Amino acid sequence: MTMPDAALWQAGFDRLLARIDTTGTTVKEGFPHYGDPATGRWTTSPAGDWTGGFWNGLCWLAAHGTGRERYREWALAWAERLRPRATSDTVFRGFLFYYGALLGAVLLGDARAREIALLGARGWAPSFNAKAGCFPLGAEAEEAYDVGHGEANVDTVQGAALLVWAAGEAGEPRWREMAVSHARRHIEFCIREDGSVCQSASFDPTTGRMLRRYTHKGIRDDSTWARAQAWAIVGYTLMHRWTGERDFLEVARRTADWWLAHVPADHVAYWDFDDPAIPDTHRDTSATAIVAASLLKLATLVPDGELARRYRGAAEATVRALVERHLDERGILGDGCYNRRIGLATRNELIWGSYYLFEALSVLTGRLEPARI
């Protein structure tokens, strides 16, 4: 028997909240990174890698959605651990400080969260390459290869929203200009004419000229890695939400429409849309959860009512698929595919997948305005 929507949304929220409770009381060192669905044990990252902010984000959402002080205390404790990352040479400071601290400032008005989010933005801004009009990956970016000051990838667009917010908070309008330029440059780098997405690009750091498109984690350079498509959707949706720039909304729509036209009928993506082994290959619930949360935002941002209903309906169908088939009673979202290329955590719980599903369920249960964050 199919559970009614409201009951399913609440059940999914409760399961994930229980998983937050278990994680917060058992993980003492490092940041939850990816988990073993069989045992429930987390592999942690000492300094947060690129994913640490998503654990904080879960705690911020839980604090906002329940009003319980324990979750705020956990979020602040881990946010404090991010302070040293403000000076790390990686573009993924956008992930770390947007979800790890900005959420606390925006959702709860927390002064320490605001301070830490601004610290991250202030540390990141000087790495902008004005010739290229973007932020490079940086020498410490969390990729297995091809990192440095002439590399870029679409994963980084949503992090630019941190700088847009910080520009207003700190009175630094140049930060907003950098963020907008970064996002626009990645349209050239990563967005194909048909709305599909290539993850990565190389550029000449001295002239800014693009040299090639490729992928860090997809099956081949011309394929569409599911998480690249998902990062583009959330990135341009968030950049439109924070800036109001209409070209970002257009890119968000094109990439979302491509996803909806190509995702399997059961709504859960395979790890790469072009894997010739489909359907006998890995799914990626984390990419799917990113898109579900993004579609809920898009539904409130597009001016076309019919399109808004389409996005909302697709988001609800996607969340239902994830909760019914991939979220177990312990609140573990399985079947996340971290890095198929190197065989890392290919059928696992992934902290960012859990975050985006919890965000979507917070919206569907009426605890969060879709485009608030």
pLDDT, position 145? 62
Q: In what order do the strands lie in the sheet with 200-203?
A: 151-153, 200-203, 210-214
pLDDT, position 144? 54
Low-confidence ranges of the chain (pLDDT < 70): 1, 143-145
Nearest to 368 by CA among 307, 276, 317, 300: 300
pLDDT, position 147? 83
pTM of the model: 0.98
State the residue for tokens 């209903």.
Answer: 309
Sign of CA dihedral 60, 62, 65, 69: negative
Q: What are phi and psi of 270, to 5 degrees?
A: -80, 160
Q: What are phi and psi of 31, to 5 degrees?
A: -115, 135
Give the start-end residues of each E strand in the chain. 31-35, 42-45, 151-153, 200-203, 210-214, 349-350
| Token representation of residue 94 | 């956008």
Q: How far apart are CA 269 and CA 291, in angstroms?
A: 10
Q: Name every residue whose Cβ is closer than 8 Å to that of residue 254 and which is 6 or more positions away in sequence.
A: 191, 195
The model's pLDDT over 196-226, given as tens digits with 9 standing for 90+, comes to: 999 999 999 999 999 999 999 999 999 999 9
| Token representation of residue 32 | 């939850």
Sort strands 210-214 and 31-35 into parallel, antiparallel or unpaired. Answer: unpaired
pLDDT, position 1? 64
Please spell the DSSP secondary structure of 329-370, one letter per residue: TTS-B--B-SBGGGTBSTTBEEHHHHHHHHHHHHHHTTSS-T
State the residue for tokens 């705690």.
Answer: 59
